[in-house]
Structure 1
Amino acid sequence: MARVFYIVFSTLFFLSCATTGIEKTDNGIIVRVKQENSHTAKTIRLNVIDNNIIHVSAIPGKIFSDEKSLILRPGLKRSGTFSVYENGDEVTLSTDSLDVVIRKSTGEIAFLNKKGETLLQENKGGGKTLTPIEVEGTKGYTVHQLFESSDDEAFYGLGQHQADDFNYKGKNESLFQYNTKVSVPFVISSRNYGIVWDNYSLSKFGDTRDYADLDQFKLYGEDGAGGGLTATYTRKGDSTGTIVRQESKLDYQFIPLLENFPADFDLNNSRVTWSGELEAPESGLYRFFLHYAGYIRVFMDNEPVVEERWRTAWNPNSYKFEYHLKEGERVPIRVEWEPDGDVSYIALKALSPVPEEEQNKLSLWSEMGNGIDYYFVAGNSMDEVISGYRTLTGKSQIMPKWAMGFWQSRERYKTQDELLETLAEFRKREIPIDNIVQDWSYWPEAEWGSHKFDKERFPDPKGMVDKIHEMNARIMISVWPKFYMNTDHYKAFDKNGWMYQQAVKDSIRDWIGQGYIGSFYDAYAEGARKLFWKQLEENLYSLGIDAWWMDASEPNIQDNTDMDYRKKLCGPTALGPSTKYFNAYSLVNAEAIYDGQRSVNPDDRVFLLTRSGFTGIQRYSTAVWSGDIGTRWEDMKAQISAGLNFALSGIPYWTMDIGGFCVEKRYEQAQHYYNATGIENEDLKEWRELNARWSQFGAFVPLFRSHGQFPYREVFNIAPEDHPAYQSMVYYNKLRYRLMPYIYSLAGMTYFNDYTIMRALVMDHGKDPEVNDIGDQYMFGDMLMVCPVYEYKATGRTVYFPATTGWYDFYTGKFIDGGQKQRVDAPYSRIPLFVKEGAIIPFGPEIQYSDEKKPEHITLYVFAGKNGTFSLYEDEGVNYNYEKGAYAIIRFNYDDATKTLVIGDREGSFEGMLQERRFNVVYVDKNRPQAVDPDAKGIEVVYTGAAQKIPLEK
């Protein structure tokens, strides 16, 4: 009571005092900080969004920008009461959930819960640095915010990256958009808070420095001579043209740098090595950055630090590794590289050591903004933090039910007949499918951006779409924000100043045919977004197209260009310089189609798939895929942690190219050899196993789709019917469809409960500290634990069973105690799956497409050991009536003490809803193990909407 009185009294006191440097606003407070350093914050604003969300803004001046945030959802309303009190140098803003303390002398902020425990604290002194920057006449600040972090804390989120990092504690990650790299500046902590960083420019998590070239070390060649490593360029099978020279840098990362390779040396069919020794100028942990295309291996002190990796030439990959070095100690280094063709890329750089206590802090840096601008989001769980993220940035829409089914694609179907014949083959073989995809280049070669089909290859687009619909499937089509200069659509944008001009000025030709000049439209302009939709509506949506594939939405105007030139290519934008708006293109591009389609057909659910994403993109019914990844086992493994961190970034719908997109030549050659001879060589064996394993994994991510370059990705083109790869892929396809009631219920929860479908173990089992660093197994919903196999010829893998519950083997029903690691069986045809105690999982009928049958008969598996709940969600599946209350929920509650299941009263209704159905309840406990079989016989229950209590053990 005394504290409450003090808060009220002090509030009245300081509000009456004009000299405290504190100003109360409708939503919070503004604090004036007296600091001499010109690069620190002088004015700090705290705004209350709700009891769990605080908006922090900081500037060196006095007047805050009134620019509208791109990431906040339209119509965001502030709620929650707060009070403010002053105690010496500290001012506290207090909500029902948080106390936010700011020091008047430094601007340092701390966020505390109501127990007085510090959740997050800015670095001593405030941790804020703001350095003036001016670009193209626009002024702003390069900003850096540093927070303290406890040793046991873990960080996740940041979007989707390919270095196979899971827990980002002590790691570094550059946040920019590129093919296979999706940057979302939202970080979530294992301590159940998150930071939504409101900035659209190039950003960094961790170390703010750029990676430096190898000449930061003393380098010695193979002969011991100082000044550089020995670079040896050799043609395979021909040593006469070998070139040996000394190189002090290994930096061939971008197009302009390729001219530094030896003149007249053809990289095609060659080997290059860099070898010698390096000597560090100081002792400590060095963090290395490897950029590569082709085959690469790296050795330090004659031990491999990078096992063989590969990536195609036009789409290099990046990888990071760490190595301890001692000052003055010479360490052997060797880089072995086989370029991918005559144009290929490679670079090796490093960051010098920083003290561990500094490296482990939470650090966010951005190149350009109006000031420091972030939202602190607290919760009692990671789900609550993600709910806060969506409170700010927008609800995730419920995807159409058919989007939960299987998607088939390939690099492209070249003709109308090819596409229709493929879909017909699925139906003939009774392999479930809901969607087929028409990727790029369906237009006439010289008319990219026309949105018109090539009449010779696609003579009847409307008829093609109609036939797809007649076969009970949907079609998604690739639409790029790219336009050739000669198209009418380019000219329509250009006359309004809505085309980026640098690519045209520089006559950049793409890779198609003779090479054509074009550029991308400026999606930051409202008028341009409306025009983009109008063109799509007139040319494609009018044909009955169901979904949109928004490729190259980084925007990727030219591959393998340095950062400065990338900015020139995609700017200036209608809002300002591309330096400031570098990362948010995919967000406004998605807005164009989402708003456009809902404006002309508000009853038709929008589905967008984009190669890039940004904070808030989930509000535009958008899923993101991981780009043109490689077809290697290490690429498959990296997708697990990439997908989990993307989900932890608050965006629930993610997918990948099952099997990878960019294909090693050995797999292409193996497929051609098989087509000619019918012989499965060793490379084809591996290709088939890779696709089988990847498809097993892909069946348990939010969206299930296969896509990639040749060899073709249809299951019947990967392997014959009697092959274990074929049989396994079909099994998991059908299992996915039997799980449709479960999966669609999860989709409903993403909207109504701000749920996350693909769940890192730390989300549901965070009380077990062992799970903080486990990024290669996860929960699909909170009932199923998925453990992908990502090694060739593996027949088992190690699985950690979180201590928070017991587990059942999906295939045998065997019970496993939590809190232990086990080596589990993983035969070729099966992915390890486990079900938690208390799980309730519904299985529907066998179907060929999502709405073939209504689930009148659901097999309901109940797993004993703990109490459990599940809510079966249903609606009309294709429209937005759920936003108006047209949906139904049936809640199931299992009580383990009494061994009873209660099926609750049906809540809600919608047109076409089943009035009566049967539940086949199968009960599993540790004393009666049994495999999961959707057709197993159990206790039959006729349900008409009224609650029922079912004893499961007599």
Structure 2
Amino acid sequence: MKRKFIAVVTLLLGYQISAQAQSFQKTSQGIRTVTQSMNVEVSFYSPNIVRVFKKPEGSQQKKESLAVIKRPEKLKFDIKNNGQTVTISSSVIAATVNLKTGKVSFDAQNGKKLFTEKDNSTRFTAINDAGNPTYAVKQAYLLDKEEIIYGLGQQQNGKLNQRGQKLLLKQENTKVAIPFFQSVKGYGVFWDNYSPTTFTDNAQETSFDSQVGNCADYYFMFGGGADGVVAQMRTLTGQSPMMPLWSFGFSQSRERYKTQFELVDVVKKYRALNIPLDGIVQDWQYWGKDDNWNAMSFDPTTFPKPQAMVDSVHQLNAHLFIVSWPGFAPKTPQYQEFKSKNMLLNFDTWPPGANTKPYDVYNPAARNIYWNYLSKGIFSLGIDAWWLDSTEPDHINVKEQDFDQPTYLGSYRSVENAFPLQHTGGVYDHQRAASSKKRVLLLTRSAFAGQQRYATNTWSGDVGSNWPTLQKQIPAALNFSLSGLPYWNGDIGGFFAGDFVKGGGAKNPDFQELYNRWMQFATFTPLMRSHGTDIPREIYQFGKKGEQAFDIQEKFINLRYRLLPYNYATAWSVTHHAGSFMRPLYSQFPNDPAGFENSSEYMFGRAFLVAPVTDKGMTSKEIYLPSGSKWFDFWTGEVVKGGQTIKRETPMEIVPLYVKAGSIVPWGPKVQYSTEKKWDDLEIRIYPGDNGDFVLYEDENDSYNYEKGAFSEIRFKWNDATKILTVEDRKGEFKGMLGQRKFNIVMVSRQNGTGIDNQKINKSFMYSGRKLSVKL
């Protein structure tokens, strides 16, 4: 941004410090004071969350956050004033304000130093933003020299630890900008600003420097560890609703299916091959030519009977995603209506040459109009999920004045990073208002803090089809998850696969190796979805049954479906307990520093350690198993002690996969789609060596009745010393719930069968919802 300085006014804390004691005012949530020509307010939102709000003295700024939805709680806190500083303490943390300089620091209740601003580090620089006198704003902090931090959304830098970085946090295809980080000291910091922001960490400071901001506004939260910090971030910005059960199966996509007949035929082929499938995705241009871009209607030549297409997909027991974009070509009625009401942003978005413009997602009236077209043209047909592409949005033919564009909330520059939050929020809120029978599921290419409350599953964008990119997806996904957003996925095989076309496309052995390794990784992500350009990715494109490329895909798609009860229970943990699917080793093993910067492995839920193969031709891989536990090789049943690095052979059909001792894993039936069979004859796998606990969650699979209490929980407890499994009383009920069922208990060992199937049942019993214990 070219800044037009209306005054060279930089407010730096520390100028002309008075020797006299400073005064402050107690508020209902903390304190406020005026120092160094600046208003400083520190407010406790909960015992764990503190807001720090600073603005130039005399400013009338009253900010309404787009990301934060929590309101301050009524709570008790202590205030101690020594004349130079004032300390506000809750039952969890203490915030200290230097009344002379305005510096704020945080300690734990045990006196441990957690986090501090840098002296003289809050800076407001007066600028002119599209004719509006305002500021560029910066806040700097001091971190411990060896402190490790995570987060910042999704960055494609291949790093798990985000120290030593200088990053422009600005929404882009493949990059998600979230000005949030969390530390191994157990705290997190959310910088609540929506303009492009430079994050810097070096030996001198750690800082957020935003192009536009009337105030310096951030939230400090203490969670004690990674999972706790994520829980606090969700408390602050919103909880994640349940995704439908079918979304945890397998979804097939392509750029693009050119007719409705081609799309339905793909589902038919999967059914004929007995390959499980739950989702099919219709990408762009179903509306016809680019001059009709995003018309939210079907071209009568290639999609002559869209209702028949939707009905056919449903009759085949599958579900349909439809793509929608935030931009419209001039020929569309949407463009014309938005233009007539001054609700278009006047810059070019995808596709090039079509003069497509995005609508003003910040305007609630514009979001209403967007949904009205989407509902009448597509949702009324009974489609199941949305693919909201280009949610950054794409910005082509960039001009400096594009960022001066007025939006409903100010210049585009001032709110740019919140575009995906506003856009997805509009679709989610409108669909929720229209129907509670079908859960919202939004596949989206970008995200911002708080977007988890809108049922979004963000994919990593149009990444390249190559091994270095596959490697980077693991830390990208983990940092995204550590930023508070639990649902992430990526195009299996990478999006741009043109380098492999000459060698035979899907029959190219090099692409087959990359694709199958990527699929193994995708099996252990919240959404398993095949997609890409250049090369069609349907399983039958790679060969036929009995051929390696086909058989490996079939194996891992089937594994995904056997994990459905485990994944659905993990989804409930996400919704009900602010949990996460993809977790770095640090999240579960905070006392084992050897795993803190491990960017090649992760926990999937609480039971599985996954170490994807991310190098071409790799026949073995070194794997670190965290200390404090024993580990079962999923494929062999071999038990390995933690706290060491081992070498695991990695033939093409194997991804290194370990299960933590003490895990209880429900194993679903072999199915062709998620609801084909009831879970009335369920295998329960126990991995001995430690005590275990697991809650099996069930509900109606695709409605919001769970919000009204229509769900059940069955808790399993394993006592490793006595070898007794206790199944507690079932809690809750819902329509269609199993009154009686059979549990088949498997005590996993090297001798007792291994892998996906071939497990030997140790004991079976009927369960009718009443507590019982079984000795094994």
Please report the TM-score for the alignment, with normalisation by the length of structure 2. Answer: 0.95
| Correspondent of 2:312 among 459, 467, 485 | 467
Do 1:631 and 1:659's aligned partners in 2 also have CA atoms closer than 8 Å?
A: yes
Do 1:412 and 1:439's aligned partners in 2 also have CA atoms closer than 8 Å?
A: yes
Q: Does 1:90 align with 2:85?
A: yes
Matches within 5 A, 1:700-715: 700-715=524-539
Do 2:699 and 2:710's aligned partners in 1 also have CA atoms closer than 8 Å?
A: yes
| 1:529 alignment counterpart | 367
Do 1:407 and 1:706's aligned partners in 2 also have CA atoms closer than 8 Å?
A: yes
Q: Does 1:899 align with 2:723?
A: yes
Equivalent residue of 2:137, what SS? strand
| 1:271 alignment counterpart | none
Change (3 A) 1:421 1:846: same
AA of the residue aligned to 1:487: T
| 1:587, distance to aligned residue in structure 2 (A) | 0.5
Q: Distance in 2 between matches of 1:171 and 1:202?
A: 16
Q: Distance in 2 between matches of 1:606 and 1:450?
A: 21
Q: Does 1:668 align with 2:501?
A: yes
| 1:197, distance to aligned residue in structure 2 (A) | 1.1
| 1:488, distance to aligned residue in structure 2 (A) | 1.2
AA of the residue aligned to 2:666: P
| 2:126 alignment counterpart | 132
| 1:935, distance to aligned residue in structure 2 (A) | 5.1
| Correspondent of 2:406 among 563, 572, 576 | 572
Q: Deviations over 1:278-317 (max 9, x none)?
A: xxxxxxxxxxxxxxxxxxxxxxxxxxxxxxxxxxxxxxxx
Q: Deviations over 1:469-496 (max 9, x none)?
A: 0000110010001111121111111111
Do 1:874 and 1:888's aligned partners in 2 also have CA atoms closer than 8 Å?
A: yes
| 1:52 alignment counterpart | 48
| 1:233 alignment counterpart | none
| Correspondent of 2:562 among 714, 735, 738 | 738
Equivalent residue of 1:368, what SS? coil
| 1:863, distance to aligned residue in structure 2 (A) | 1.1
Do 1:815 and 1:929's aligned partners in 2 also have CA atoms closer than 8 Å?
A: no
| Correspondent of 1:618 among 452, 456, 466 | 452
Do 1:692 and 1:726's aligned partners in 2 also have CA atoms closer than 8 Å?
A: no
Q: Distance in 1 between matches of 2:463 and 2:410?
A: 32
AA of the residue aligned to 1:24: K
| 2:6 alignment counterpart | none
The number of aligned residues is 755
| 1:443, distance to aligned residue in structure 2 (A) | 0.7
Q: Does 1:417 align with 2:241?
A: no
Note the residue ranges of structure 2 that are not aligned, 5 or more in a row: 1-19
Q: Deviations over 1:600-628 (max 9, x none)?
A: 11332111111110010011111110110
| 2:302 alignment counterpart | 457
| 1:19, distance to aligned residue in structure 2 (A) | 8.6
| Correspondent of 1:27 among 16, 26, 29 | 29
| Correspondent of 1:157 among 151, 157, 166 | 151
| 1:440 alignment counterpart | 284
AA of the residue aligned to 2:185: R
| Correspondent of 1:646 among 480, 489, 494 | 480
Q: Does 1:143 align with 2:137?
A: yes
| 1:163, distance to aligned residue in structure 2 (A) | 1.6
Q: Distance in 2 between matches of 1:890 and 1:509?
A: 49
| 1:220 alignment counterpart | none
Equivalent residue of 2:417, what SS? coil
Do 1:865 and 1:925's aligned partners in 2 also have CA atoms closer than 8 Å?
A: no
| 2:492 alignment counterpart | 658
| 1:919 alignment counterpart | 743
Do 1:520 and 1:557's aligned partners in 2 also have CA atoms closer than 8 Å?
A: no
| 1:380, distance to aligned residue in structure 2 (A) | 2.1
| 1:357, distance to aligned residue in structure 2 (A) | 2.7
Q: Deviations over 1:200-226 (max 9, x none)?
A: 00012215xxxxxxxxxxxxxxxxxxx
| 2:765 alignment counterpart | 941
Equivalent residue of 1:369, what SS? coil
Q: Distance in 1 between matches of 2:72 and 2:274?
A: 50
Change (3 A) 1:860 1:502: closer
Q: Deviations over 1:37-69 (max 9, x none)?
A: xxxx72210111100000001122144521311
| 1:930, distance to aligned residue in structure 2 (A) | 4.4
Equivalent residue of 2:362, what SS? coil
| 1:796, distance to aligned residue in structure 2 (A) | 1.1
Q: Deviations over 1:262-292 (max 9, x none)?
A: xxxxxxxxxxxxxxxxxxxxxxxxxxxxxxx
AA of the residue aligned to 1:646: F
Do 1:844 and 1:934's aligned partners in 2 also have CA atoms closer than 8 Å?
A: no
Do 2:498 and 2:534's aligned partners in 1 also have CA atoms closer than 8 Å?
A: no
Equivalent residue of 1:122, what SS? strand
Q: Distance in 1 between matches of 2:539 and 2:72?
A: 49
Q: Does 1:788 align with 2:612?
A: yes
Q: Distance in 1 between matches of 2:132 and 2:736?
A: 56
| 2:227 alignment counterpart | 383
| Correspondent of 1:552 among 390, 394, 403 | 390
Change (3 A) 1:448 1:61: same
| 1:81 alignment counterpart | 76
| 1:822, distance to aligned residue in structure 2 (A) | 1.2
Q: Distance in 2 between matches of 1:884 and 1:629?
A: 40
Q: Distance in 1 between matches of 2:402 and 2:517?
A: 37
Do 1:787 and 1:831's aligned partners in 2 also have CA atoms closer than 8 Å?
A: yes
Matches within 5 A, 1:14-413: 20-33=22-35, 35=36, 42-63=38-59, 65-73=61-69, 76-123=71-118, 125-206=119-200, 357-358=203-204, 361-413=205-257
Equivalent residue of 1:46, what SS? strand
AA of the residue aligned to 1:931: T
Change (3 A) 1:839 1:509: closer
Q: Distance in 2 between matches of 1:44 and 1:383?
A: 30
Q: Distance in 1 between matches of 2:120 and 2:628?
A: 38
| 1:761 alignment counterpart | 585
Q: Distance in 1 between matches of 2:635 and 2:403?
A: 52
Equivalent residue of 1:908, what SS? coil
Equivalent residue of 1:907, what SS? coil
| 1:126, distance to aligned residue in structure 2 (A) | 4.6
Q: Distance in 2 between matches of 1:794 and 1:716?
A: 25
| 1:690 alignment counterpart | 514
Equivalent residue of 1:893, what SS? strand
Q: Distance in 1 between matches of 2:267 and 2:703?
A: 25
AA of the residue aligned to 2:458: V
| 1:834, distance to aligned residue in structure 2 (A) | 0.2
| 1:604 alignment counterpart | 438
Q: Deviations over 1:661-692 (max 9, x none)?
A: 01233x112226x8xxxxx6xxx111111111
Note the residue ranges of structure 1 that are not aligned, 5 or more in a row: 1-17, 36-40, 208-355, 675-679
Q: Distance in 2 between matches of 1:183 and 1:719?
A: 40
Moved runs in structure 1, 4+ residues, more than 3 A? 508-511, 932-935
Q: Distance in 2 between matches of 1:712 and 1:510?
A: 22
Q: Distance in 2 between matches of 1:587 and 1:441?
A: 25
Q: Distance in 2 between matches of 1:711 and 1:574?
A: 41
AA of the residue aligned to 2:40: I
| 2:461 alignment counterpart | 627
Do 1:92 and 1:101's aligned partners in 2 also have CA atoms closer than 8 Å?
A: yes
| 1:817 alignment counterpart | 641
Q: Distance in 2 between matches of 1:516 and 1:110?
A: 52
| 1:237 alignment counterpart | none
Equivalent residue of 1:130, what SS? strand
Q: Distance in 1 between matches of 2:565 and 2:351?
A: 45
Q: Deviations over 1:545-584 (max 9, x none)?
A: 111111111111317x47x36525xx32111011111111
Q: Distance in 1 between matches of 2:198 and 2:395?
A: 23
Q: Distance in 1 between matches of 2:537 and 2:428?
A: 29
Q: Deviations over 1:479-524 (max 9, x none)?
A: 0011111211111111111011244xxxx8944xxx4222110100
Q: Distance in 2 between matches of 1:440 and 1:795?
A: 39
AA of the residue aligned to 2:302: R
Do 2:44 and 2:72's aligned partners in 1 also have CA atoms closer than 8 Å?
A: no
Q: Distance in 2 between matches of 1:567 and 1:901?
A: 61
Instruction: Work out which of the two has the higher radius of gyration on C-alpha atoms and give 1 or 2.
Output: 1
Equivalent residue of 2:682, what SS? strand
Q: Does 1:777 align with 2:771?
A: no
AA of the residue aligned to 2:395: I
